[in-house]
Amino acid sequence: MISEFLYMNGYGLYVWSAFLFTLLSFSILYTIIKIQYVKERNKFISKFGALDSKKAQVAKTQNINKEILSSTQSI
Q: What is the predicted pLDDT for the residue at 44?
A: 83
pLDDT of res. 27: 98
Q: What is the pLDDT of residue 51?
A: 67
- Tens of pLDDT along the chain (75 residues) come to 788 888 888 888 899 999 999 999 999 999 999 999 999 989 888 887 766 777 777 766 776 666 666 665 554
What is the full DSSP assignment across 28-60? HHHHHHHHHHHHHHHHHHHHHSS--HHHHHHHH
pTM over 0.75: no
- Do 8 and 15 contact (CB within 8 A), yes or no? yes
- Measured in whole angstroms, the distance separating CA 10 from the mean position of its chain's CA atoms is 36
What residue ranges do the domains of the chain occupy?
Answer: 2-73
How many angstroms separate the most distant Cα atoms in the chain?
Answer: 67
pLDDT at 32: 97
